[in-house]
Amino acid sequence: MNLLTALLVLLALSGGGGGGHAPTLVLDLSGSARDETISFRGTAYTPGAEVAVTLGEDAVPLTITTANPDGVISGEFATPDPGLIPELVGKSVPVYAVEIESGARSTPTRLQVARPIRATGMQRTGAVGLSFELEIGKAPRNATYWVLFGAPDAPPAARRLTDPEGDGAYSLSVEVEAGAPLAIQLVRGTGTRNTAAGPSPDKPMRTIRKYPTITPRVGLMLRLGPPTGH
């Protein structure tokens, strides 16, 4: 755990209540001063909807997940690094969960990012981590799973998700430049082909999920359940 993470002080304050079916978001901050991740849970979302958990009114993305058949979301996101969001240090910042398609938004839970006790040792970094998790179960024969990402107007880089335990849970972690817009797609290929840029998904290839263009300024987790017709 880096020094900046250890210096965060996070307070959960309940937002104003809505109707009985309004989406909810609850953060577990019991270990946030020590841990590098914060767990969350929410209810009353559209089953199967993509839901983004965002920080602040500028909607800095923290994670994107999928509501289960009961309309429940759960997961975790990286503890925000104040070196990457200096404009939010010392402020009480709202965290929302938002359905990407419908725009339905939870009432906010608030995080207060404390000012560092000492400036000594603080370093700003130009990179943030992106983590991807995909639950497949039994994959079709020769299927390979990839993340394609890069600037919206440039050819994307391809990185393959792996399933080291052989249990159908695929994952990938990469670092990208903080503050740069990213277009991201999750795709299924048929085997692998070698290109000048490195290994890539071979054809036929199918897009599983195309994410909205994002500009990551903090670590970001994108988690998907089993996609239909994977």
- pLDDT for res 148: 94
- Does residue 2 come out as left (phi exceeding 0), alpha (psi in the -120 to 50 range) or beta? beta
What is the reported pLDDT for 211?
Answer: 82
What per-residue confidence (pLDDT) applies to 188? 94
Pairing of strands 143-150, 157-160: antiparallel
pTM, whole model, 2 decimals? 0.61
Work out the average pLDDT over 93-118. 79
- pLDDT digits over 153-212, tens only? 888 999 999 998 888 889 998 888 888 888 999 999 999 999 888 899 999 999 988 887
Q: Given this model, what pLDDT does residue 195 score?
A: 87
Q: All domains of the chain, ordered by start, with CATH? A: 3-112 (2.60.40.10), 127-224 (2.60.40.10)
Q: What is the DSSP string of 171-188?
A: EEEEEEETT--BEEEEEE
Confidence (pLDDT) at 224: 61
Write down the mean pLDDT value for the chain: 77
β-pairing verdict for 73-78 and 60-66: unpaired
Closest to 157 in 3D by CA, of 215, 212, 196: 196
215 pLDDT more than 70: yes
What pLDDT does residue 159 have?
94
Question: Which residue intervals of the chain are DSSP H helices?
Answer: 3-6
Q: For residue 225, what pLDDT is reported? A: 56
Please tell me the predicted confidence (pLDDT) of residue 23. Answer: 94
